[in-house]
Amino acid sequence: MLLSAWSDRLGLRAAGGSAVAAATMGDLPRWDLSDLYDDRDSERLRQDLAQAGSDAEAFARTWRGRLADVPAAELARAIAEYQRIDEILGRAASYAQLLFAADSSDPANGRFSQSVNERLTDISTHLLFFTLELNRIGEQEMQDRLADPALAPWTPFLRDLRVFRPHQLSDEVEQVLHEKSVTGATAWCRLFDETMSALRIPLDGHDLTVGEALNRLSDPDRALRARAAAAIGTVFGDNIRLFALITNTLAKDKAISDGLRHYPRPGSYRNRSNMVEDAVVDALVQAVTSDYPRLSHRYYALKAKWLGLDKLEHWDRNAPLPSADDRVIPWDEASRQVLGAYESFDPRMGAVARRFFDNAWIDAMPSPGKASGAFAHPTVPSAHPYLLLNYHGRTRDVMTLAHELGHGVHQVLAAPQGYLMSGTPLTLAETASVFGEMLTFRALLDAETDPVRRRIMLAGKVEDMLNTVVRQIAFYRFETLLHDERRTGELLPERIGALWRQVQAESLGPAFNFTPEYDVYWTYVPHFVHSPFYVYAYAFGDCLVNALYGVFQSGHPGFQDKYLDMLRAGGTRRHRELLAPFGLDAADPGFWRKGLDVIAGFIDELERA
């Protein structure tokens, strides 16, 4: 767990509408990273890295080659020491990642991030043996040791680690792959980030960042949306060979690793990491793709009618509806709305959420060089999470705040599980975020009495859910097709574009026409680069939350207590254990239908309006 993963919604949708004056939105918060380190030249950072380096070397001298024979109590002591060192590395990694995300256009931040990654890789090389040796302990022998009360608390960590046991390589090969990662996949990811951050989209006399240009695709002015779409397509097209090279290289790199480890298919590693069976993911994908006509095809036909269009172009997908409220929502009002929803659900959850606003844990100001979209980074249990947003004052930005705050609350509640067991698989990491969105949406909808505004709000929620479920499964299908085909040779940019157009046409339906420049829009989705096959977790989380929210609405006894217990569990329990108290089972073929029925029900209501 060297580099702390974070949960995000980059690429999920263009957040908000046209840029608005900061004065209209009020004072937007900027985070203070000094709870991690004061600055790039921090003496504490230098000391932490030096201490972690010497501790890692001492750890290796003490434990290498001994794990097969040590008693359970000693093994527990070794795991605790491993966690302590690993958390120091995680703190440094988190600081470098957050600094780079806040401004990747500053070369000093890029250099610092790379230097930290290289230093952490050097240090963690001394720790690499530990998990490899743990996985070489026989199954029965490990079970016998876990019966000892001293080792029993580490059962979830060992259980999840041993999922990868069949795919583990020799120590020498694992070390080579580990050390070369900084000049391999990590370097290509950095190239993508820095390239995307530096791109400027010329539009109406202004040079916009990619995030600013994508926001124009939600503008009420259709002509502006069309100009923005063409400008984005031109710039992406001018850089298409570089993005295709990055994509082909990373896909091949992954195929080599998957082949060495004998994963049956490109998505298998991600599924193992998510502690979910391939068959469960297949069932989700099948359920969503089969429901394309009932969901997205039906909704976008309605949207075309509302907009008075025979066909929608791709730049109409996030267009506001006629009579939509384009009022800018000040930050203070957005904060009150979201916090009010959280506190109404349960004051305990609201108290945790309020800490993000009372402290400098949120960075919401859009700025050049800043990562687009939004994310929640858990950092380390000895500190606290940070939220990154690009707040433009639209209703969707309020929903994004509610989403990322859910991640943050989840991460705070799970922190007592410790660095090795607080992290949640992606399939469950989206639960608290999507649930927070639903709470906020329901609170706003229940407070609205005007029928027209209610319809607009309901349509906006449907679009969000389609973006979260249908769009992300289409992204997953695109990745699957691309990685499968890459195994037989490099894909030309035109072929990648054809695969992109294929899955978009399938998912969005006959209401859409796709102009040629849309074939290059796959380039800006960072999930494809940073975390292959991540995206289905959004659909998993949304459908799960729809079913979970239905249980809540039914008046299920003790729901709040059970829900908070689920969040506190972090990564110590699997999805079946976590959902059982609510009477839900993701392995049940009917489970996904429950979630998709919620979306279909909203569309039914819109058809009747």
Residue 433 in domain: no
Helices 107-125/72-102 angle, 10° precision: 170
| Segment (H or E) for 312 | strand 312-313
The per-type count for the chain, helices as H runs and strands as E runs, is 27, 8
The answer to whether 470 and 503 have CB atoms below 8 angstroms apart is: no
Residue 109 in domain: yes
Mean pLDDT of 49-63: 97
Residue 164 in domain: yes
Question: 332-370 burial, b if ≥16 CB within 10 A, otherwise e?
Answer: eebbebbbbbbbebbeebbebbeebbeeebbbbbbeebb
Mean pLDDT of the chain: 91
In single-letter form, the type of residue at position 449 comes to T
User: How wide is the angle at C-alpha 228 spanned by C-alphas 522 and 329, nearest 5°?
Assistant: 100
Mean pLDDT of 370-395: 93
Assign residue 153 the CATH number of its domain: 1.20.140.70
In single-letter form, the type of residue at position 194 comes to E
Question: 74-94 burial, b if ≥16 CB within 10 A, otherwise e?
Answer: ebbebbebbbebbbbbbbbbb
Residues of the chain above pLDDT 90, percent: 77
Whole-model pTM: value is 0.81
Confidence of residue 575 (pLDDT cuts 50, 70, 90): confident
Which residues touch 480 (CB under 8 Å, ≥6 apart)? 266, 267, 533
The answer to whether 87 and 123 have CB atoms below 8 angstroms apart is: no
Widest Cα–Cα separation across the chain? 74
In single-letter form, the type of residue at position 244 comes to A
Distance (Å) of CA 196 to CA 192, 232, 388, 561: 6, 12, 17, 43
- pLDDT value at position 587? 78
What is the tens place of the pLDDT at every residue in 421-449?
Answer: 999 887 788 899 999 999 999 999 888 88
Confidence of residue 302 (pLDDT cuts 50, 70, 90): very high
381: phi then psi, degrees, rounded to nearest 5: -60, -25
The answer to whether 248 and 529 have CB atoms below 8 angstroms apart is: no
- DSSP three-state, residue 455: helix
What is the tens place of the pLDDT at every residue in 384-405?
Answer: 999 999 998 888 899 999 999 9
Residue 300 in domain: no
484: phi then psi, degrees, rounded to nearest 5: -65, -45
> In this structure, what DSSP letter does residue 6 have?
-
- pLDDT value at position 346? 97
Q: Which two tokens stand for residue 4?
A: 């702390």
Confidence of residue 13 (pLDDT cuts 50, 70, 90): very low
Place of tokens 């290509």: 188
The answer to whether 366 and 197 have CB atoms below 8 angstroms apart is: no
Distance (Å) of CA 304 to CA 316, 488, 513: 9, 40, 11
Q: Which two tokens stand for residue 183?
A: 């000049």
Q: Distance (Å, rounded) from C-alpha 609 to C-alpha 603?
A: 10
Q: Distance (Å, rounded) from C-alpha 606 to C-alpha 459?
A: 7
- DSSP three-state, residue 376: strand
What is the tens place of the pLDDT at every residue in 97-129?
Answer: 999 999 988 999 999 999 999 999 999 999 999
Between 327 and 568, the higher pLDDT residue: 568
- pLDDT value at position 428? 84
Residues of the chain above pLDDT 70, percent: 96
Q: Name the H helices within 147-239.
A: 155-161, 171-180, 185-198, 210-215, 222-238
For residue 51, count other CB atoms closer than 10 A to its CB: 12
Is the pLDDT at 530 greater than 90? The verdict is yes
Is the pLDDT at 6 greater than 50? The verdict is no
Which residues touch 179 (CB under 8 Å, ≥6 apart)? 121, 125
Q: Distance (Å, rounded) from C-alpha 471 to C-alpha 539?
A: 9
- DSSP three-state, residue 7: strand
What is the tens place of the pLDDT at every residue in 197-247?
Answer: 899 999 999 999 998 999 899 999 999 999 999 999 999 999 999 999 999
For residue 560, count other CB atoms closer than 10 A to its CB: 14
Burial of 3: CB neighbours in 10 Å, binned 0-12, 13-18, 19+: middle
Domain extent at residue 129: 31-183
The CA-to-CA distance between both ends of the chain, in Å, stands at 50
386 strand-pairing partners: 377
What is the tens place of the pLDDT at every residue in 476-526?
Answer: 999 999 999 999 999 999 999 999 999 999 999 999 999 999 999 999 999
Tell me the pairing of strands 7-8 and 375-377.
Answer: antiparallel
Is the pLDDT at 20 greater than 60? The verdict is no
Confidence of residue 14 (pLDDT cuts 50, 70, 90): very low
Between 593 and 123, the higher pLDDT residue: 123
Residue 407 in domain: no
Residue 328 in domain: no
- pLDDT value at position 5? 38
- pLDDT value at position 325? 67
Domain tally, the chain:
1
- pLDDT value at position 4? 35
| Segment (H or E) for 207 | strand 206-208
The candidate with the shortest Cα–Cα distance to 499, out of 513, 509, 486, 512, is 486
What is the tens place of the pLDDT at every residue in 174-197?
Answer: 888 888 888 889 999 999 999 998
Q: Distance (Å, rounded) from C-alpha 325 to C-alpha 394?
A: 9
Q: Distance (Å, rounded) from C-alpha 54 to C-alpha 51?
A: 5
Residue 253 in domain: no
Residue 77 in domain: yes
| Segment (H or E) for 553 | helix 536-553
